[in-house]
Structure 1
Amino acid sequence: MRHYGWAAFACAMLAPGFITAARADGPPITIGVPTSVQLEVGRDSIDATQLAIDEINAKGGVLGRQLRMIVADETENPQEGVAAINKLTADEHVDVLIGGYTSGVTLAQETHIADSKTIYLEVGAASPSITDFVRRNYKRYQYIFRVSPINAAHQAEALIDFGLGKLKGEAGVEKIAIAGENAKWVQDLAPILKAGLEKGGMTVTSVDLFDADTSDFSPLFTKIKASGAQYIMVVLSHANSDVFVKQWYDAKLPIPIGGIDVKSQDSDFFTRIGGKAVSETVANNIIPVPMTPLTMPFWNNFVARFKRPPVYTGAGSYDAVYIYAEAVARAGTTAPDKVIPALEKTHYVGTEGLCEFDAQHDIKYGPGFISLAFAQWYPDGSRVIVWPKEIAKGAMNPPPWLAGKP
């Protein structure tokens, strides 16, 4: 069983040393934010970046310079994503890029980022292929870093831990179905998840990847029910999980659901689908518990200012601004060839855990680093952490129509 050790963090940079009281009299340091502005993941990335910028600027900026932000909408389309990168780098000449959401879009952007020689701190996409560019050709792609989320392979490990520890170990689930969208990050994740669950003694009754625009899930639910599965492990981000979860609820499917459902991390997900998310258990990167000494200050400040809780891209963007600012301060310049070595030495206690990069510029995962907390939607619309055991705050309950049944 994995022990996360989140409570073991003894300190955090609540007042980072790179923030100076000196008057900011140099040209501004410009942060370009390419993201999907029409989605909450995009809005939270923008707002959290601004929150961090304002905090740093209020204390004097970095190297006597203020920070400012420029946003470009990359939508969820690779062509638009490339246009957003070109706008920010060629037209706006930003010093750094902080953003991203869709793996396919980010992968399409990478050659353009490399050509621009602009540092890119990615905070939304999970495909391991993103930082594999760095491993295969460091000289060309050294500008690429992933701050958040943990990559799809590591997310699979967290799901395996949840499946074997919580579902099998505590709830006695033996048979599990995997259902997810047919996207690059899920294609990377699903084989690892299946192999890990089976190695741990569970039976994976089916693995189904469906188009993101699927609107009728009844055939899938019928197939999964017939397979004998006792739990559906979902892996969703771009798919219409509002429809997926509502149809699961309306069908009163006798199988609980949970896993990774990015839209179910939205603060309004429960209410916007009429409470039908009840009992869904979702992996979260950021949740209002003291994962580190920075978690609750960030959470409370974000909620107070923007009147909604943040999702994972908000936490990742906030941390990315501080990580970049600290690296610039250590380097004494914004020149990428000086800042990149400083970024590679990052040791920063952020909102989600200890942030360090591995050799291919991917964020590290595991005990003491960043991981996932699994929270269940309760009938009153609250989210309660049920896994890992060390930080669990309540029991994982079955769907209402299965309550009391063996």
Structure 2
Amino acid sequence: MKKALSLIFIIILIVSAFSANPWKIGVLGPYQTENGVWIKESVQMAADEINAQGGIVGRPVELVFVDDENTAGKMISGITRLVTRDKIDFLIGGVGSGPVLAAMDTMARYKVIWLGTGAASPDITNKVAENFNKYKYYFRVGTLDSISQGRSIGEFIANYLVPEYGIKKAAIISLDLVYSKGIAEKAAEIAEKAGVEIVYRDYFPAGTNDFSATFKRAEEAGAQVIIDAIVTEDGIQFTKQWYDLKVNAAIVGAIAPALKPEFFNQTNQKSIYETSAYPNGGPAPLTSKTLKWYEDYKTKFGHAPGFIAFPSYNTLYVLKEALENTKNLNDKDEIIKAIEKVEFPLGGDKGVAPVIFTENHDLKYGGNGANGIIYQWNTKGEWKAVWPLEYKTGDWLVPEWINW
């Protein structure tokens, strides 16, 4: 009896110790939006798993969610409240580049380590490069910046479409936003180096309903491929009209709505042959865990994880690996150095998308680092990874009406 009571007492002490000193982690996101929902769900999913396994170095993870409404003011006040009132140990999240850029000085003032999940402007990690001692607390766990997204599209054209199909001419038809232009022009630059001539450019305003004239001009210029970068719902109408008009050029680029299962029905099943780059994620064997995690997420939440869910889920595992390799957990510089050494390689067994950091705390692009995976909707309404070839789940198909 005494032994049983002693055992129970020990268990109570262990449980008490485990629950008494949690890692408090602030999570920023616009929770009234789809992106915010993806952040909240994926981070909670990772926290639940880690806590079930005993936490991080014996301490549980406690999440403190703050809705930043994707505005600079709310994000800055949210970080201030998380640090001063909630006494968080780390910060993760953030979607919009503008709010994140505005909040980096607040991060630096409080010296809080921030694992970013969405802001894709190169300016963010450029700040780390320009003033490392001040901004070294920020790491881009995701997503790929706009330049890297453009590179993935350009490399698919240059390294696959050019040698396989002899592509020589391309057009740009894209949304008139700085972010979209960055993607499209980088893709065009790489395609041009492979001998592809850019024969037509059109950057259209958000809310455009009729693309027939610009499609016709691209065809008349001899474009075999149309490079697009459409981060708004305009991509739905764009794809439907391209299909209806049977444009004699494949659309290849980055249409944000196309990166969700709902796109097939949103386009009235006219998304067939649409091809887009997914920024370091999607249902492909990026790591040994990705495909199972993708299905587990759908089962748990009733919908597929979006692009921002991949880095959001990864953040806690990046932190876990770093802290487990840190001797002095009170030394932020030592923790930063440990995070810098974390590697989740493409094709490996860590995380659900590649994470390797550059010296400026950006994602390493290409090779065994982060990649823009190219996906295409096939004739069965299935969404398949088609590039890089070693991680494909299907073959890229030439639209049946195209005559190259």
TM-score, normalised to structure 1, is 0.85
Q: Which digits, 9 at most, give the CA deviation of each residue in 1:125-179, with x for residues without a partner? A: 2222110100100111011111122322222221121011222221222111223
For 2:211 and 2:86, the matched residues in 1 are separated by 44
Which one-letter code corresponds to 2:338 in the other structure?
A
1:225 CA displacement: 3.4
When residues 166 and 106 of structure 1 are mapped into structure 2, their CA distance, relative to the original with a 3 A threshold, is: same
The aligned residue for residue 8 of structure 1 is: none
In 2, are the aligned partners of 1:21 and 1:60 still within 8 Å (CA)? no
For 2:80 and 2:243, the matched residues in 1 are separated by 44
For 1:57 and 1:161, the matched residues in 2 are separated by 40
1:347 pairs with 328, 343, 347, which one?
A: 343
2:293 pairs with 291, 294, 298, which one?
A: 298
1:88 CA displacement: 3.7
1:226 CA displacement: 3.7
In 1, are the aligned partners of 2:293 and 2:352 still within 8 Å (CA)? no
Q: Which digits, 9 at most, give the CA deviation of each residue in 1:167-220, with x for residues without a partner? A: 222122211122333444334444433222111100112343344444444454
The aligned residue for residue 365 of structure 2 is: 365
| Mapped pair 1:96 → 2:90 | yes
Identity of aligned residues (%): 31
Q: Which digits, 9 at most, give the CA deviation of each residue in 1:351-398, with x for residues without a partner? A: 455422111001112212221221111232211222222333433224
The aligned residue for residue 159 of structure 2 is: 165
| Mapped pair 1:66 → 2:57 | no
The aligned residue for residue 388 of structure 1 is: 388
When residues 109 and 250 of structure 1 are mapped into structure 2, their CA distance, relative to the original with a 3 A threshold, is: farther
Which one-letter code corresponds to 2:359 in the other structure?
A
In 1, are the aligned partners of 2:169 and 2:198 still within 8 Å (CA)? yes
In 2, are the aligned partners of 1:103 and 1:184 still within 8 Å (CA)? no
Say which SS state the counterpart of residue 376 (structure 1) adopts: strand
In 1, are the aligned partners of 2:184 and 2:253 still within 8 Å (CA)? no
When residues 250 and 92 of structure 1 are mapped into structure 2, their CA distance, relative to the original with a 3 A threshold, is: farther
The aligned residue for residue 3 of structure 2 is: none
1:111-260 matches, cutoff 5 A:
111-238=105-232, 240-260=234-254
Say which SS state the counterpart of residue 152 (structure 2) adopts: helix
The aligned residue for residue 377 of structure 2 is: 377
In 1, are the aligned partners of 2:283 and 2:385 still within 8 Å (CA)? no
For 1:246 and 1:271, the matched residues in 2 are separated by 11
In 2, are the aligned partners of 1:23 and 1:60 still within 8 Å (CA)? no
| Mapped pair 1:329 → 2:324 | yes
Decide which moves more: 72-81 or 120-129. Answer: 72-81
In 2, are the aligned partners of 1:267 and 1:310 still within 8 Å (CA)? no
1:91 CA displacement: 4.6
For 2:357 and 2:86, the matched residues in 1 are separated by 28
Structure 1: runs of 5 or more not aligned? 1-19
Q: Which digits, 9 at most, give the CA deviation of each residue in 1:58-100, with x for residues without a partner? A: 1111233211223333344444444444444455443222222
For 1:143 and 1:218, the matched residues in 2 are separated by 48
Structure 2: runs of 5 or more not aligned? 1-13
In 1, are the aligned partners of 2:115 and 2:141 still within 8 Å (CA)? yes
In 1, are the aligned partners of 2:310 and 2:353 still within 8 Å (CA)? no
In 2, are the aligned partners of 1:121 and 1:145 still within 8 Å (CA)? yes
1:293 CA displacement: 1.7
When residues 79 and 228 of structure 1 are mapped into structure 2, their CA distance, relative to the original with a 3 A threshold, is: farther
Which one-letter code corresponds to 1:305 in the other structure?
K
When residues 188 and 312 of structure 1 are mapped into structure 2, their CA distance, relative to the original with a 3 A threshold, is: same
1:50 pairs with 44, 52, 61, which one?
A: 44
Runs of 4+ in 1 over 6 A off after TM superposition: none
Size of the aligned set, in residue pairs, is: 385
When residues 169 and 101 of structure 1 are mapped into structure 2, their CA distance, relative to the original with a 3 A threshold, is: farther
Which one-letter code corresponds to 1:338 in the other structure?
E
When residues 98 and 35 of structure 1 are mapped into structure 2, their CA distance, relative to the original with a 3 A threshold, is: same
Higher relative contact order (CA 8 A, sep 6+): 1
Which one-letter code corresponds to 1:267 in the other structure?
P
When residues 31 and 208 of structure 1 are mapped into structure 2, their CA distance, relative to the original with a 3 A threshold, is: farther
Decide which moves more: 25-34 or 127-136. Answer: 25-34
In 2, are the aligned partners of 1:40 and 1:266 still within 8 Å (CA)? no
For 2:205 and 2:79, the matched residues in 1 are separated by 27
Say which SS state the counterpart of residue 162 (structure 1) adopts: helix
For 1:271 and 1:302, the matched residues in 2 are separated by 21
In 2, are the aligned partners of 1:126 and 1:149 still within 8 Å (CA)? yes
Q: What value does the CA root-mean-square deviation take over the aligned residues?
A: 2.7
Q: Which digits, 9 at most, give the CA deviation of each residue in 1:286-311, with x for residues without a partner? A: 23332222223322321221122222
For 1:214 and 1:77, the matched residues in 2 are separated by 26
Decide which moves more: 272-281 or 388-397. Answer: 388-397
When residues 40 and 399 of structure 1 are mapped into structure 2, their CA distance, relative to the original with a 3 A threshold, is: farther
Decide which moves more: 366-375 or 84-93. Answer: 84-93
Q: Which digits, 9 at most, give the CA deviation of each residue in 1:333-368, with x for residues without a partner? A: 265333212111212353455422111001112212
When residues 46 and 335 of structure 1 are mapped into structure 2, their CA distance, relative to the original with a 3 A threshold, is: farther
Say which SS state the counterpart of residue 321 (structure 1) adopts: helix
The aligned residue for residue 5 of structure 2 is: none
